[in-house]
A = this chain, B = another copy of it.
Amino acid sequence: MRPLIHPSIDDVTLEGILHALADPVRAAIYAQLAVSDCAATCSTFVNVIDREIPKSTLSQHFRALREAGLVRSERAGVEMRNVSRCKEIEQRFPGLLPAILKSYAVEASERARATRRKPARKKTRSA
């Protein structure tokens, strides 16, 4: 079984964090982890941002988050338990993660407003 790689907080780079969070799915996963107190398993996230995500893709997202230093993962039987490392990162880069997550929330509310404004067109049956 491959070992799980967790960089020490001193080896975490801003470049790595921005790259990992430049993906809306990863940012959504991270946002959920950051507000949850208990460890979350991959299966909690299969419907993140209203889109079904294959389990293998999710594993890759968690790996990217882990290697960027954003989450800490632990094997528990056949599952993987993940917790956010937000406290460590907040200490090193104060205000960074809250600002990114807040900006994603801005985008999500803009999207929701736009969807409300444009109701789905009724399908007309062609003869």
Name the 3 nearest CB pairs between A and B, nearest first. Answer: A99-B99, A18-B22, A93-B103
For window 77-116 of A, CB contacts with B under 8 Å fall at: 92-96, 98-100, 102-104, 106-107
On A, residues with C-beta under 8 Å from B are 13-15, 18-19, 21-24, 27, 92-96, 98-100, 102-104, 106-107
CA separation between A69 and B96, bound complex, in Å? 20
The quantity of this chain's copies bound in the complex is: 2
Whether A95 lies near B102 (C-beta < 8 A) is yes
Min distance, Cβ A108 to any Cβ of chain B, angstroms: 10
Q: List 18 A-B contacts (CB under 8 A).
A: A13-B107, A14-B27, A14-B100, A14-B104, A14-B107, A15-B23, A15-B24, A18-B19, A18-B21, A19-B19, A22-B22, A93-B99, A93-B103, A93-B106, A95-B95, A95-B99, A96-B99, A96-B100
Chain B residue at minimal CB-CB distance from A16: B22
Chain B residue at minimal CB-CB distance from A18: B22
For A21, the chain B residues whose CB sits under 8 A away are 18
Among B22, B95, B98, B106, point to the contact of A15 (Cβ < 8 A): B22
CA separation between A50 and B15, bound complex, in Å? 18
For A98, the chain B residues whose CB sits under 8 A away are 99
- Knowing A19-B19, A19-B22, A22-B19 touch, does A14 contact B92 (C-beta < 8 A)? no
